[in-house]
């Protein structure tokens, strides 16, 4: 009888226990980032990113050393893109905990169902994003408000050949003039 009560308790509270465990686990993941050229006459950008936090709260940054020399100071500065986020909902599994404890952040990220939001800033713009993960892909939306240009779009992060691929489909337009929107996309390898 005692075993039945213990098993029933674990089934009833198992997800809460795993959520408490997740909230206690710190993580820190750094990797390279590469933005390929859009044409044969343009160059690529390379740098690194870092995601760190504990449990549901995280901070991140993207640095592209040297990009500040080629980009407008309204779009990018040497401080890079910085942000803070929160995972609002998460379905923790044993595989999530195991991947985080073993330091395999990429596996934990693509195999765990979650949703959340983040705020970000870079140079003269700020932005917001909402995201969710399921079936090994992270999908999201973003809105960036700049001094001269605004951006609205969607993104998808997926595992491709043992690296993460970020695809963004968006429109950009003069600040506050969405009727002049121009479509664009970017692919970033992480």
pTM above 0.85, yes or no: no
- Tell me which of 2.40.128, 2.60.40, 1.20.120, 3.30.70 is the CATH number of domain 2-189: 2.40.128
Closest CA to 70 of 82, 78, 62: 78
11 falls in which pLDDT band (50, 70, 90)?
A: very low
Compute the C-alpha angle 190/146/119, nearest 5°. Answer: 55
* Residue 50 near residue 64, CB atoms below 8 Å: no
71 phi/psi in degrees, rounded to 5: -105, 160
Mean of the per-residue pLDDT values for the chain?
Answer: 87
What is the per-residue pLDDT for 104? 83
Residue 96: CB atoms within 10 Å: 22
187 falls in which pLDDT band (50, 70, 90)?
A: very high
| Tokens linked to 148 | 């001269």
- Give the tens place of pLDDT for each residue, 76-122: 999 999 999 999 998 877 887 788 888 887 777 777 889 999 999 99
């Amino acid at each position: 009888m005692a075993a039945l009560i213990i098993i029933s308790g674990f089934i009833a509270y198992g997800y809460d226990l795993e959520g408490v465990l997740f909230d206690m686990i710190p993580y820190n993941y750094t990797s390279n980032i590469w933005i390929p050229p859009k044409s044969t006459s343009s160059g690529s950008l390379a740098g690194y990113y870092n995601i760190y936090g504990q449990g549901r709260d995280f901070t991140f940054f993207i640095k592209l050393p040297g990009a500040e020399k080629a980009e407008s100071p309204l779009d990018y500065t040497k401080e890079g893109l910085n942000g803070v986020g929160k995972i609002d909902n998460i379905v923790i599994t044993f595989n999530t905990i195991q991947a985080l404890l073993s330091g395999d952040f990429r596996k934990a990220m693509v195999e765990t169902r979650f949703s959340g939001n983040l705020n970000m800033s870079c140079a003269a713009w700020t932005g917001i994003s909402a995201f969710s993960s399921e079936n090994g892909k992270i999908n999201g939306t973003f809105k960036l408000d700049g001094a001269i240009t605004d951006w609205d779009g969607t993104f998808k992060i997926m595992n491709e050949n043992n690296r993460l691929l970020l695809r963004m489909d968006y429109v950009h337009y003069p600040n506050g003039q969405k009727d002049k929107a121009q479509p664009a996309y970017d692919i970033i390898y992480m």
